[in-house]
């Protein structure tokens, strides 16, 4: 299958997660993505701890060019590169890209077909000058409140706002690309962490509007279903099970030999079961705890009941479904270690779109790209403009 975005050039002035995630999605979909890094490479490459995986996960399949944007000649390289781009993505601090002369107003004159994507903490409004992080947005937008137990706001366990913000950037960029086919003109796009968070917690805002009662943090929530929880098993390996329809309630009772529960006709309607949760759950927990997790999974497999062993990220390297379906891509890290990382989670005509998976070294493609712009890479390198 031909890569759907083959022939498109994306130029990135990005770091950390939100901007690189948008570029990585476009790379998997077939675009040529050129990452502009400072000489020596994006500092994200050298993060430790929880940031150690940012660069390999969100920069696979891109080309790397190192340029000193503090020099006039370096800015000229960047401007010429932007003139060749279909899409430009940046997530610098508010106002930084404009001060470099690489904002929409400057570049749209140079390249009227350019789709210029700026990713910030906030869209236009009183907060727009603030610097934000994934944590900041989660705390302000109510996601941390909903994730932790009452009184203990907790950041989600992945960079969900950065990544979702990158996804919304891609949606907007592809929309603008489609519109460009009609008008011949590019577009200016803004995406933001705070507004992304607000969109994700919109279901809880709507719950308050519908019920008149504020949504409780998820650990203290009143579930929409009586059985929708994590259960202990005989071997201590937890398992999530959800019974989300009345038909599945009957199946669940028969599957786990609970005729006394099915015999209660008043419990055959979901809302009645929710109200009787304190009576139902001890009986269910006691029954399920007599079985090992593997035995429960074997019984649940193919039943139509939602269930999930509680996995950890490191378990996914050997997940049989991901390995069989081609959901993981080989990636060689900077030190030569070969690993597997997840592809964009869609299939097109039955195939998983993917970039090469290569993780470019800093400036690996500088000379070729600079020469393609009609400039002399040898002279620029000697002057310390590129690396």
Domain-by-domain residue ranges, the chain? 9-200+357-382, 221-311
Q: Is residue 2 pLDDT above 80, yes or no?
A: no
Residue tagged 């002035």 (tokens): 13
How many other CB atoms are found less than 10 A from the CB of residue 357? Answer: 17
Contact 97, 103 (CB under 8 A): yes
- Percentage of the chain modeled with pLDDT above 70: 99
Architecture of the structural domain at 9-200+357-382:
3-Layer(aba) Sandwich (3.40)
Of 79-93, 343-357, 365-379, give the lowest mean pLDDT range: 343-357
Q: Is residue 318 pLDDT above 90, yes or no?
A: yes
Give the per-residue pLDDT at 155. 96
The whole-angstrom separation of Cα 268 and Cα 98 is 62
Q: Is residue 311 pLDDT above 80, yes or no?
A: yes
Beta bridge partners of 195: none
Give the per-residue pLDDT at 221. 85
pLDDT category of residue 346 using cuts at 50, 70 and 90? very high
Contact 142, 200 (CB under 8 A): no
Note whether 9-200+357-382 and 221-311 share their fold: no
For 345-356, b/e burial (b = at least 16 CB within 10 A) is eeeeeeebbbbe
Q: Is the CA virtual torsion 119, 120, 122, 126 positive or negative? A: negative
Residue tagged 């390999």 (tokens): 56
Residue tagged 């969100």 (tokens): 58
- Verify whether residue 162 is a known catalytic residue: yes
Which tens digits make up the pLDDT trace of 74-102? Answer: 999 999 999 999 999 999 999 999 999 99
The whole-angstrom separation of Cα 285 and Cα 64 is 54
* Average pLDDT for 354-364: 93
The whole-angstrom separation of Cα 335 and Cα 65 is 20
Give the per-residue pLDDT at 92. 97
Angle between helices 134-141 and 193-200 (to 10 degrees): 40
Give the per-residue pLDDT at 255. 97
| Helical segments of 224-276, H only | 246-255, 259-262, 270-275
Top CATH class, 221-311: alpha beta
Residue tagged active-site, from 28, 68, 134, 162 = 162
Q: Are strands 63-66 and 32-37 parallel, antiparallel or unpaired?
A: parallel
Of 102-116, 261-275, 344-358, give the lowest mean pLDDT range: 344-358
Which tens digits make up the pLDDT trace of 195-220? Answer: 999 999 999 999 999 999 999 999 99
Give the per-residue pLDDT at 46. 95
Q: Is residue 334 pLDDT above 90, yes or no?
A: no
Which residue, 183, 150, 155, is CA-closest to 50? 155
Instruction: Name the CA dihedral angle for 193, 198, 201, 207, rounded to a multiple of 10 degrees.
Output: 180
Tokens standing for residue 161: 């706002």
* Average pLDDT for 220-243: 95
pTM: 0.94
Give the per-residue pLDDT at 1. 58
The whole-angstrom separation of Cα 284 and Cα 253 is 9
Give the per-residue pLDDT at 5. 97
The whole-angstrom separation of Cα 221 and Cα 69 is 50
């Amino acid at each position: 299958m031909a890569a759907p975005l083959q022939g498109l050039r994306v130029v990135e002035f990005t770091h950390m997660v939100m901007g690189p995630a948008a570029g990585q999605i476009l790379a998997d979909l077939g675009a040529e993505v050129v990452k502009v890094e400072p000489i020596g490479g994006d500092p994200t490459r050298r993060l430790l701890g929880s940031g150690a995986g940012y660069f390999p996960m969100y920069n696979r399949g891109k080309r790397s060019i190192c340029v000193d944007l503090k020099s006039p000649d370096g800015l000229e390289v960047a401007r010429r590169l932007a003139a060749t781009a279909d899409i430009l993505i940046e997530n610098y601090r508010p106002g930084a890209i404009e001060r470099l002369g690489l904002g929409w107003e400057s570049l749209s004159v140079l390249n009227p077909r350019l789709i210029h994507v700026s990713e910030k903490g906030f869209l236009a409004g009183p907060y727009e000058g603030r610097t934000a992080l994934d944590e900041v947005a989660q705390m302000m937008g109510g996601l941390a409140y909903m994730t932790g137990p009452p009184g203990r706001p907790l950041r989600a366990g992945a960079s969900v706002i950065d990544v979702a913000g990158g996804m919304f950037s891609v949606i907007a960029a592809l929309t603008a690309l489609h519109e460009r086919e009609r008008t011949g003109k590019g577009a200016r796009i803004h995406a933001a962490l705070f507004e992304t968070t607000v969109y994700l917690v919109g279901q809880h805002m709507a719950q308050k509007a519908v019920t008149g009662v504020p949504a409780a943090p998820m650990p203290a929530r009143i579930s929409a279903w009586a059985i929708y929880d994590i259960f202990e098993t005989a071997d201590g390996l937890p398992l999530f099970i959800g019974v989300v329809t009345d038909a599945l309630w009957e199946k669940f009772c028969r599957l786990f030999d609970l005729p006394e529960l099915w015999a209660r006709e008043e419990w055959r309607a979901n809302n009645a079961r929710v109200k009787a949760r304190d009576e139902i759950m001890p009986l269910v927990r006691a029954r399920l705890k007599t079985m090992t997790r593997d035995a429960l999974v074997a019984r649940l497999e193919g039943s139509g009941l939602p269930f999930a062993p509680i996995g950890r990220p490191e378990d996914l390297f050997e997940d049989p479904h991901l390995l069989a379906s081609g959901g993981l891509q080989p990636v060689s890290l900077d030190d030569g270690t070969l690993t597997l990382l997840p592809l964009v989670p869609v299939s097109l005509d039955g195939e998983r779109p993917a970039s090469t998976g290569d993780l470019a070294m800093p400036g690996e493609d500088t000379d070729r790209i600079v020469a393609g712009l009609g400039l002399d890479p040898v002279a620029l390198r000697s002057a310390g403009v590129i690396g």
